[in-house]
Each structure stands twice: as C-alpha cells, then as structure tokens.
C-alpha cells in the first residue's frame, strides 16, 4: 500500500538554523492567478509558484493532495484538482466551512498563498490504461475527480469509454458545470447529471434523484471498467452495492478518503484510521483495501 522510502532532507545551516529545504513544514509561496466562483459556497483557485525554479521542479500525480495556507489563518488540505499535465499552474477547490476557508473566500488575484505537497498516493492512471472509466461524484467531490477526468481526456487513446455521474443537492451546487458541458461534447464520454428531488430548476435537463439510484438506472456497461467514487460517506455507502450489482469487483472500485489531516507528512497522528495513516498510505484506496479498515473514517 505504501511506497515509503526515507527521504534525506538533512541540510542544516552552520548556526543551527533549520534550512528551508530541511523544514518539511515550510510551504512554497504561490501567487493567486485566478479565483472562480463555482457555486454559492465553493470557489476554485489557480496558483503559480512565486519562485519560477520551484515551479519548474514541481510535479505531482493526479489524486495527490496539497496543504494550502492563508497566512494569518492557517492551513487546509485539498486535492490538487488540476491535471498533472498542466505545467504552469495548479488548482484547488474549497467550500466555505471553517475559519480558514471563510478567509480564503476573500482572496483575489495577486494574493500570496502557501503550498506544501504533493502528498499521499495517487490514482493508478497507468494501471487504468485500456479500461473503461466510471467516475461517480457527489457534491463538493467533483474536484478530486476532475483532475483524473482531464488527465484521461488528455491521454484519450489510453482509455476506453468514460462515464461521469455527478450529483448535487441543487442545480446551483453542481461545481465545474461548464466543464461538465464540455466533457459531454467529447467522443466516448457520457455525462449524467443529477440533483436531489426538489433541487431542480424549471429548465433543468438532467436527472432528478440521488446518485446511487441514478447510477443504477443509467445502464452503464461495467465490463473492463474501473470506478472512482468520491462523495459524502452516505452516498458512497449506497453506491457501492449498485456497482457490485453491475459486476465491478472490489479491487476495481476506488475512492479517496477525506480524513481530517494536519501535517500531511505522517507525524501529527490526525489522519490515522485503523492501521493506516491516510496522508501517507492514502488518500486513494480500493474498496478491497477499505473493507480491511475498521469503520473509523
């Protein structure tokens, strides 16, 4: 599960100062290039490394997360929701819920944020080559799926049919709505959108219903497929039996756990769930792996 080798970051300065390179807690500075409002309480942010060389040296894999910070308010953990093929910037998405995210809500172009990462494991995009991909997301869980969707679309020849099922409480809560429209125009891509009953608008053309039921009715071919399912625990719980019924095996169903994290580097103990440190051995797990974990996430 874990590809952990010890990293040598020892490089202290002569006077005993802990150097930038050595300080695993010190972030890179990033400039805000763009802030977009995705829904009533969700925004997406595009960032570029303030230090050009640092930006050039940076790479990550889709599915990994970062620790983003607003100085004076603190750090917050988000998936890096841009594709790893995009070289000039990275993106993350947040919902206004707590102290840090409420303050983040007011950031604008030109502001400076902190970033540490990338941390954690990633989606096995290589192993998924040649497979049909089923992406299922609920609510704010679109961003951690979006990075994989773009990645697959950019390496289109490597992947089979792509099905995206995305649901939110109301039409206004669907994030990346414009990108959903764009994905729907691509070849061999099917986008199924749904909102909870009552969450529709008069001109709503998508489905009305909850993600598990909509998925079940969508008639998705499950042969040679892998599924990535991310969303609230309740959505995941009811979607899993549907996927099983469709014929997907536990090792072909992936999710990304949203445990609370602080350090991201396997120290602070916060993300520990059963035998795993989610920040190190996760956040990406197959259902087969999840079944071995105690009900503690």
Q: Does 270 bind ligand FES (CB under 6 A)?
A: yes
Q: Which does 54 bind (CB under 5 to 8 A by kind): other proteins, ligand FES, none?
A: none
**By CB under 8 A, residue 205 contacts other proteins:** no
Q: 92, 17 in Cβ contact below 8 A?
A: no
Task: Pick the closer one to other proteins by CB: 81 or 263.
Answer: 263
What is the footprint of other proteins within residues 59-98 (CB under 8 A)? 69, 71-75, 95, 97-98
Q: Give 169 or 190: the residue with its C-beta nearer to other proteins.
A: 169
Considering the rule CB under 6 A, would residue 266 count as an interface residue with ligand FES? yes
How many Å apart are CA 190 and CA 133, to the nearest integer?
A: 11
The helix/strand/coil state of 78 is strand
**For residues 273 and 276, what is the distance between their CA atoms, to the nearest angstrom?**
6
The answer to whether residue 233 forms part of the interface with other proteins (CB under 8 A) is: yes
Q: Could you give the residue ranges of the DSSP H alpha helices within 188-281? A: 211-217, 233-246, 278-281
What does the per-residue mask of binding to other proteins show for 253-292, with x meaning CB under 8 A?
A: -----xxx-xx-xxxxxx-xxxx----x------------
198 lines the binding site for other proteins (CB under 8 A): no
Considering only CA atoms, give the Rg of the chain. 19
Please check whether residue 221 is in contact with residue 161, taking contact to mean a CB–CB distance below 8 angstroms.
yes
Least distance between ligand FES and beta carbon 259 (Å): 8
Q: Report the residue number, 218 or 265, with the smaller CB distance to ligand FES.
A: 265
How far is residue 35's CA from residue 32's CA, in Å, rounded to a whole number?
7
User: Tokens 């019924």 belong to which residue?
Assistant: 245
Nearer to other proteins, 174 or 226 (CB): 174
Member of 41, 86, 111, 171 binding other proteins (CB under 8 A): 111
Work out what residue 241 binds among ligand FES, other proteins, none; the CB cut-off runs from 5 to 8 Å by kind: none
| Token pair of 147 as six digits | 């990075």
Write phi, then psi, for 47 (nearest 5 degrees): -130, 145
Decide: is 279 part of the binding site for ligand FES (CB under 6 A). Answer: yes
Sign, CA dihedral 198-202-203-205, equals positive
User: Minimum distance between the CB of residue 274 and other proteins, rounded to whole angstroms?
Assistant: 7
Instruction: Give CA separation, 98 vs 40, 74, 76, 178, 233, in Å.
Output: 15, 11, 10, 27, 20
Calculate ∠ Cα 82-263-86, nearest 5°.
15
Give Cβ neighbours of residue 38 (< 8 Å, ≥ 6 apart): 44, 93, 175, 176, 177
Q: How far is the CB of 229 from other proteins (least distance, A)?
A: 16
Rounded least distance, CB 31 to ligand FES, Å: 26
Residues in contact with other proteins by CB under 8 A are 4-10, 12-13, 15-20, 22-27, 29, 69, 71-75, 95, 97-98, 101, 110-112, 114, 232-233, 258-260, 262-263, 265-270, 272-275, 280, 294, 296-297
Residues in contact with ligand FES by CB under 6 A are 261-264, 266-271, 277, 279
């Amino acid at each position: 599960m874990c590809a952990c080798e010890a990293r040598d970051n020892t490089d202290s300065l002569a006077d005993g100062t802990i150097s930038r390179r050595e300080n695993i807690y010190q972030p890179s500075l990033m400039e805000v290039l763009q802030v977009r409002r995705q829904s009533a309480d969700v925004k997406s942010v595009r960032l570029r490394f303030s230090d050009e060389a640092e930006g050039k040296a940076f790479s990550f894999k889709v599915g990994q997360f970062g620790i983003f910070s607003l100085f004076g308010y603190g750090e917050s953990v988000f998936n890096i929701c841009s594709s790893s093929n995009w070289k000039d910037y990275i993106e993350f998405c947040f919902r206004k819920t707590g102290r840090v995210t409420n303050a983040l809500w007011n950031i604008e172009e030109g502001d400076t944020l902190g970033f540490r990462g990338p941390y954690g494991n990633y989606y096995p995009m290589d192993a998924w080559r040649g497979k049909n991909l089923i992406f299922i997301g609920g609510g704010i869980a679109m961003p951690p799926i979006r990075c994989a969707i773009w990645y697959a679309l950019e390496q289109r020849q490597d992947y089979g049919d792509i099905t995206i099922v995305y649901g939110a409480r109301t039409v206004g809560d669907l994030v990346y709505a414009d990108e959903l429209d764009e994905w729907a125009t691509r070849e061999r891509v099917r986008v199924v959108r749904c909102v909870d009953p009552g969450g529709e608008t008069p001109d709503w053309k998508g489905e009305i219903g909850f993600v598990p039921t909509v998925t079940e009715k969508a008639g998705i071919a499950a042969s040679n497929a892998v599924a990535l399912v991310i969303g609230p625990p309740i959505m995941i719980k009811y979607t899993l039996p549907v996927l099983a019924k469709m014929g997907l095996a536990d090792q072909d169903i992936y999710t990304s756990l949203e445990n609370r994290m602080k350090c991201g580097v396997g120290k602070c103990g916060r993300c520990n769930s059963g035998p795993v440190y989610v920040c190190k051995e996760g956040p990406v797990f197959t259902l087969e792996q999840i079944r071995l974990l105690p009900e503690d996430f």
